[in-house]
Structure 1
Amino acid sequence: MVKNEYSINDIDQLVDRIICLCGSKPKDERLIIGIAGVPGSGKTTLSTKLSEQLNQQKYPTINLPQDGFHSYRSELISMPNSEEAVRRRGAPFTFNASKFLQLVKSLKSPQLRDRDLYAPSFDHSIKDPVENDIKISKDTDIIILEGNYLALKDEVWCELANYMDEIWFLETNFEVTRKRLIKRHLQAGIARTESEAIDRADNNDLVNGQYIIDNSICPDVTIITPV
């Protein structure tokens, strides 16, 4: 596997890469691929396409988003910097990174390979996680993690790399992600007006995005999104 740079459109090649990696793993160990990138870079879209093709080819695969590990609003309010925590929700310090790490360790453990595991999802209508909402069947061979901070060098986050077989990073133009984020915030009801959506994109999401660019490890694979 010499090539480590792909286009976002190279789905077939990326699927082949995963299948090749899967073939080299012991039967009692799941393959875990982490897809990282700035907010709005297309992580969910890519991971969905990959898992659909892998499942079609009889490689049991599931997507596992980082979103379910947001801290609860009640937890943010109890933080010493509660006002900033609520305003900056989505920044690294507003996630339960330790809980996420513990689940990834469990998914990688051969001792737990013969049991179903469960992960939280995130409900945008209640703006909080929903515990045990995602079932990872014991028959699942491939886990595609996707989230902003999977490649982060920060404490706790950096330990994730020890349990992922490869880390992929989506390289996307900030202006492209900005437009996507504004549209997403309006459609999801995160922002009531376009000005609110713009403010959230510029003063939270893209701030987090620059932090990711400045503080992430070198990935195994870089995936380019054409402008």
Structure 2
Amino acid sequence: MSDQVTITDKQTHQLVDRVKSHFSSNDSRYLISLAGVPGAGKTTFASTMAASLTKEVAPTIVLSQDGFHLYRSELQAMPNAEEAIRRRGAPFTFNSKAFVELVARLKNKHNTVKAPSFDHKLKDPVEDDIEINSAIEIVIIEGNYTSLKDAEWNEISTLVNDTWFISTPESIVRSRIIKRHLEAGIAQNEQEAIDRADGSDLQNARYIIENSKTTNVLILAE
């Protein structure tokens, strides 16, 4: 059964204590997967945890799954290009194999690993934009699908030390996604943002909820 925690300062400290009790400074990095639906608050929470862990346990960095989006050119080359572009953000629109291979390389602390980031203006990855060197001892691997049961994605849980899932009410998720689409210029107006949120985004969210593994920690956000 998952440990249920809420995202309060007290519970954040509990998670820091959890990592502290399991962490050991050796040749291996301590890896944590953090999954959740779009708009759940993963990025903000992961950044907060990374700062706390760096201060209280060991140098920590967040690695986002977003850098492993397929390029738009790759989506356009697919037989179902129109559907792939419409569904960008669904599991099949990521390079899951490359993502899993990089997570595997992260385990050895002596490996300096370069990872891609995602440029939201270009709407494409930026290769080798993130460097994770030997000074980094903890990595929070954050993304929608890091606990998915699907082929390749399901290997992540075998490579990490701990698995977390952040659960946020759908009404909050929907509002955040609409706001994000408007602020990022993905949607030109509120109705377009609503249509995108109620379409592909919430379709992906429901797929995540229905097809993710039970994680060691369930974080209940409000």
Q: TM-score range by the shorter chain?
A: over 0.9
Deviation of residue 193 (structure 1)? 0.8
Q: CA RMSD in A?
A: 1.3
Calculate the TM-score normalised by the size of structure 1: 0.94
1:187 and 2:183 are equivalent in the alignment: yes
Q: Deviation digits for residues 126-176 of structure 1, max 9, x if unmatched?
A: 000000001101111000011000110101101111101111011111011
Q: Secondary structure at the match of 2:23?
A: helix
Residue 97 of structure 1: aligned partner: 96
Structure 2 segments unaligned to the other structure (5+ residues) = none
Q: Per the alignment, do residues 156 and 114 of structure 1 end up closer, same or farther by CA in structure 2, a change over 3 Å counting?
A: same
Comparing 56-65 and 136-145, the one that deviates more: 56-65
Residue 66 of structure 1: aligned partner: 65
Identity of aligned residues (%): 50
Residue 140 of structure 1: aligned partner: 136
CA separation in 1, counterparts of 2:82 and 2:103? Answer: 30
1:2-17 alignment runs, 5 A limit: 4-9=3-8, 10-17=11-18
CA separation in 1, counterparts of 2:63 and 2:129? Answer: 11
1:1-227 alignment runs, 5 A limit: 4-9=3-8, 10-23=11-24, 27-57=26-56, 59-108=58-107, 110=108, 113-226=109-222
Calculate the TM-score normalised by the size of structure 2: 0.96
Structure 1 segments unaligned to the other structure (5+ residues) = none
Comparing 49-58 and 191-200, the one that deviates more: 49-58
Q: Per the alignment, do residues 125 and 162 of structure 1 end up closer, same or farther by CA in structure 2, a change over 3 Å counting?
A: same
CA separation in 2, counterparts of 1:94 and 1:209? Answer: 15
After the TM superposition, which parts of structure 1 deviate over 6 Å for at least 4 consecutive aligned residues?
Answer: none
CA separation in 2, counterparts of 1:69 and 1:156? Answer: 13
Q: Secondary structure at the match of 2:82?
A: helix
Amino acid at match of 1:107: L
Amino acid at match of 1:30: R
Amino acid at match of 1:103: L
Q: Per the alignment, do residues 3 and 82 of structure 1 end up closer, same or farther by CA in structure 2, a change over 3 Å counting?
A: closer
Amino acid at match of 2:183: Q
CA separation in 2, counterparts of 1:43 and 1:183? Answer: 16
